[in-house]
Amino acid sequence: MTHVGPAPLGSSPTASPGSSFVEWGSVIAGAVLAAAISFVLLTFGAAIGLSATSPWPNSGASAKVVASVAVFWAMAQQIGAFMAGGYVAGRMRSRWHEAGHEVEFRDGLHGGLVWAVGVVIGAALFLSTAGSVAKRGAEVTGGAAAVAGASTNDPIDVVLDTMLRPATVAQASVPSPAASAGGTPPTAGAPTPRTRALTGDDTRPEMSRILASAVANGSLTTENRAYLAQLVAQRSGISQQEADKRVNDAFNAARETVDKARRAGVLTGFVTAASLVLSLGAAWWAALRGGHHRDNSIPARFVFGDHRRRTSPTT
């Protein structure tokens, strides 16, 4: 009768046709361990990163240093977590009647499956967390926008604030000398350039859409440029020439903002992809070492420098 199942100690069992050599118990155990280690290390790294930053001048690490360390830590913790998970899966897998190269392949494959399951779990958790955070953020932002009268999440809003800023805030907010001397006061309810810039009338969303469309198309048409300059001159109380300059500066600033976001997205994508590829190799290699330690009854000391030849387990 053909024996089906893991190899008893000292025997050389075979498998019947159609039986699976994948042991999902060891794979899931390694993936759960990798996810737990990654969560702990990410939490620890976030705490260290927050402690290294400071809002005060000349205090704490610079933004570039913090970003560089964050990228390194994100890659290192992921590789280390999958390495530990792959080692556990390779060590816990039961050995069948296999040749030397086949043993290594199946051990490494279990490490690769740990990586695959861990990536799926991480992606599901990320999407779930990102969805709940985005929903909560939208609710909070919506409430804040209803109170403040404008949303500050769009980077173009900052560009519009600069473009529509009054020429002299003090002159817009302080009564004129004629009014102080008993002259004719300003008409009640007539908004000053400063208040018009802050209230966000119907032209502000239109201006934002024009800038966003111009950045997407790569150029600002002559008609839109003249129209924006006219609106800026009317709302800010500046000359037409100064308004033209503000529109050009705002368009360039909007393009720089979008370009920075694009570069950050590209860098994040490359770092994530490289980290995942390296993690796959680390999980595969660690599973090989785990299987080697299993077959030679080597204690799990997480010392992977043992290059002794793989031998069959002794009775």
**178 occurs within a structural domain:** no
| Residues 233, 243 contacting (CB under 8 angstroms) | yes
Q: Do 68 and 203 have their domain in common?
A: no
Q: Do 160 and 214 have their domain in common?
A: yes
Most confident of 199-203, 286-290, 309-313: 286-290
Residues of the chain by 3-state class (helix, strand, coil), percent to 5 = 70, 0, 30
Q: Which of 133, 91, 135 is nearest to 111 (CA)?
A: 91
Q: Do 143 and 277 have their domain in common?
A: yes
Higher model confidence: residue 151 or residue 108?
108
How many domains is the chain built from? 2
pLDDT tens digits for range 197-234: 444 456 788 888 888 888 888 888 889 888 888 888 88
Give the 3-state secondary structure of residue 218.
coil
**Per-residue pLDDT, 131:** 56
**Per-residue pLDDT, 147:** 39
Q: How far is CA 24 from the centre of its chain?
A: 30
Higher model confidence: residue 92 or residue 179?
92
Average pLDDT of span 232-237 = 86
Q: Do 161 and 254 have their domain in common?
A: yes
Q: What is the pTM of this model?
A: 0.63
Tell me which DSSP letter residue 166 carries.
Answer: -
**47 occurs within a structural domain:** yes
Higher model confidence: residue 262 or residue 139?
262
The conformational region for residue 60 under phi > 0 = left, psi -120 to 50 = alpha, else beta, is: left
**Per-residue pLDDT, 312:** 46
**Per-residue pLDDT, 132:** 56
pLDDT tens digits for range 142-151: 444 443 444 4
Domain end, chosen from 244, 260, 276, is at: 260
Please say if the pLDDT value at position 141 is more than 50: no
Please say if the pLDDT value at position 130 is more than 70: no
Q: What's the N-to-C CA distance of the chain in angstroms?
A: 23
Please say if the pLDDT value at position 308 is more than 70: no
Residue type, 211: L
d(CA 146, CA 124): 33
Q: Do 250 and 284 have their domain in common?
A: no
* Crossing angle between the packed helical segments 240-295 and 100-148, to the nearest 10 degrees: 150
**Per-residue pLDDT, 99:** 66
Please say if the pLDDT value at position 305 is more than 70: no
Please say if the pLDDT value at position 17 is more than 50: no
The percentage of residues in the chain with a pLDDT greater than 70, rounded to a whole number, is: 67
With cut-offs at 50, 70 and 90, classify the pLDDT of residue 278.
Answer: very high
**Per-residue pLDDT, 154:** 66
**13 occurs within a structural domain:** no
d(CA 280, CA 101): 19
Q: Do 222 and 235 have their domain in common?
A: yes
CA angle 200, 205, 148 (to 5 degrees): 40
**310 occurs within a structural domain:** no
Please say if the pLDDT value at position 1 is more than 50: no
Residue position matching structure tokens 């909070």: 140
Q: How far is CA 203 from the centre of its chain?
A: 34
Give, in order, the Cα–Cα distances in Å from 171 to each of 199, 237, 252, 257. 18, 11, 28, 31
**Per-residue pLDDT, 179:** 43
Tell me which DSSP letter residue 10 carries.
Answer: T
Q: How far is CA 61 from the centre of its chain?
A: 21
CA angle 49, 53, 58 (to 5 degrees): 150
Give the 3-state secondary structure of residue 105.
helix
Q: Do 64 and 142 have their domain in common?
A: yes
**311 occurs within a structural domain:** no
Instruction: Show Cβ contacts of residue 141 under 8 Å, excluding neighbours closer than 6 positions.
Output: 151, 153
Q: Which of 296, 278, 293 is nearest to 89 (CA)?
A: 293
**Per-residue pLDDT, 287:** 94
- The rounded mean pLDDT for the chain is 75
- Residue 136 belongs to domain spanning: 24-147+268-295
Average pLDDT of span 61-67 = 81
Q: Do 107 and 143 have their domain in common?
A: yes
Higher model confidence: residue 87 or residue 307?
87
**Per-residue pLDDT, 148:** 42
Higher model confidence: residue 134 or residue 106?
106
**Per-residue pLDDT, 168:** 64
**302 occurs within a structural domain:** no
In degrees and rounded to multiples of 5, residue 93 shows phi and psi of -70, 135
